[in-house]
Amino acid sequence: GEGEVMSILEVRSSTGGLVRRLVNQTAVPGDFSVVWDGRDTDGVAMASGVYFYQLTVGEAQLTRKMSLIR
């Protein structure tokens, strides 16, 4: 609809490459949680290491580091 803001949550590699898009939907107020199973878009298990999650809501963007430990 008019004025809808999109919410996108992506997991990225340490070099910035897209690993997996977890959320791509109209943003809604309130809390939400997402679980990443450690796999990429093709279902391949990713190696232990440093990854980033990138949350984009409209024009705002937040990137944070996380560790995947197997």
Q: What is the pLDDT of residues 3-36, one digit of tens each?
A: 899 999 999 999 999 999 999 999 988 998 999 9
**Cα(11)–Cα(55) distance, rounded to whole angstroms?**
9
Model pTM score: 0.90
Q: CA 44, 55, 7: angle at the middle one, nearest 5?
A: 100
Residue 37, pLDDT > 70, answer yes
